[in-house]
Structure 1
Amino acid sequence: MSHNRTDKRSARERLQEQRAMDEARRKRKRALIAAGVIVVVLGAVGGIGALIAGQDDDDAGDARGPVVEPKGAAGKKRVAIPAGAAGAASTLTVYEDFRCPGCAGFENGFRKTINELREAGQLRTEYHLVTLIDGNFGGSGSLRAANAAACAQDAGKFPGYHDMLFENQPKESDDAFADRGYLIDLAGKVPGLDTPDFRACVNKGTHESWVKKVNSAFGTSGHSATPTVLLNGDNVYGDQSDPLTPEKLKKEVTQAARKKG
Structure 2
Amino acid sequence: MSEKNRDGKRTARERMAIEREKQRAADKRRRALIVGASVVCVLALAAVVGVLAANAGKGGKQSDSAGPAVAPSGAVGKDGLAIPVGRDSAKSTLTVWEDFRCPACAAFETAYRPTIHQLVDAGKLKVEYHLVTLIDGNLGGSGSRRAANAAACAQDAGKFLSYHDTLYRNQPQETQDSFGDDDKLIGLAGKVPGLDTPAFRKCVEDGKHNGWVAKSNAAFRKGGFPGTPTVLFGGKNIYADRTMTPAKLKLMVEAATKR
Is TM-score (shorter-chain normalized) higher than 0.5? Answer: yes
Distance 2:67 2:176 in 1: 29
The one-letter code matched in structure 1 to 2:201 is R
Tell me, yes or no, if the aligned pair for 2:112 and 2:246 is still in contact at 8 Å: yes
Tell me, yes or no, if the aligned pair for 2:66 and 2:214 is still in contact at 8 Å: no
Distance 2:193 2:65 in 1: 33
Distance 2:105 2:135 in 1: 11
Distance 1:247 1:64, change over 3 A: closer
Shift of 1:120: 0.5
Distance 1:217 1:239 in 2: 23
Distance 1:112 1:253 in 2: 14
Tell me, yes or no, if the aligned pair for 2:100 and 2:144 is still in contact at 8 Å: yes
Determine the structure 1 residue equivalent to 2:38.
none
Instruction: Tell me the alpha carbon deviations over residues 152-207 of structure 1, each in whole angstroms, 9 at most, x when there is no partner.
Output: 00000000000000000000000000010010110000111111110110010000
Of 204, 211, 231 in structure 2, the residue corresponding to residue 202 of structure 1 is: 204
Distance 1:103 1:131 in 2: 12
The answer to whether 1:256 aligns with 2:243 is no
The one-letter code matched in structure 2 to 1:116 is Q
CA RMSD of aligned residues (A): 1.1
Shift of 1:63: 4.1
Q: What is the 5 A alignment of 1:10-25?
A: none
Shift of 1:64: 5.2
Q: What is the 5 A alignment of 1:53-132?
A: 63=65, 65-132=67-134
Distance 1:69 1:117, change over 3 A: same
Determine the structure 2 residue equivalent to 1:168.
170
Distance 2:205 2:86 in 1: 28
Instruction: Tell me the alpha carbon deviations over residues 48-84 of structure 1, each in whole angstroms, 9 at most, x when there is no partner.
Output: xxxxxxxxxxxxxx94532111011111121111110
Distance 1:175 1:207 in 2: 19
Distance 1:148 1:69 in 2: 12
Distance 1:128 1:210 in 2: 11
Aligned length: 196
Distance 1:205 1:65 in 2: 9
Structure 1: 4+ residue segments shifted above 4 A: none
Shift of 1:149: 0.2
The one-letter code matched in structure 2 to 1:204 is D
The one-letter code matched in structure 2 to 1:141 is G
Distance 1:220 1:207 in 2: 20
Tell me, yes or no, if the aligned pair for 2:67 and 2:210 is still in contact at 8 Å: no
Tell me, yes or no, if the aligned pair for 2:232 and 2:238 is still in contact at 8 Å: yes
Determine the structure 1 residue equivalent to 2:237.
235
Q: How high is the sequence identity, in percent, across the aligned residues?
A: 61
Give the alignment's TM-score, normalised by structure 1: 0.73
The one-letter code matched in structure 2 to 1:258 is K
Distance 2:73 2:241 in 1: 33
Shift of 1:239: 2.1
The one-letter code matched in structure 2 to 1:185 is G
Over alpha carbons, which structure has the higher Rg? Answer: 1
Structure 1 gap segments, 5+ residues each:
1-61
Give the alignment's TM-score, normalised by structure 2: 0.74
Determine the structure 2 residue equivalent to 1:190.
192
Residue 229 of structure 1 aligns to a residue in which SS? strand
Distance 1:224 1:215 in 2: 13
Determine the structure 1 residue equivalent to 2:8.
none
Residue 224 of structure 1 aligns to a residue in which SS? coil
Instruction: Tell me the alpha carbon deviations over residues 196-221 of structure 1, each in whole angstroms, 9 at most, x when there is no partner.
Output: 11011001000011000000010111
Distance 1:132 1:214 in 2: 11
Determine the structure 2 residue equivalent to 1:244.
244
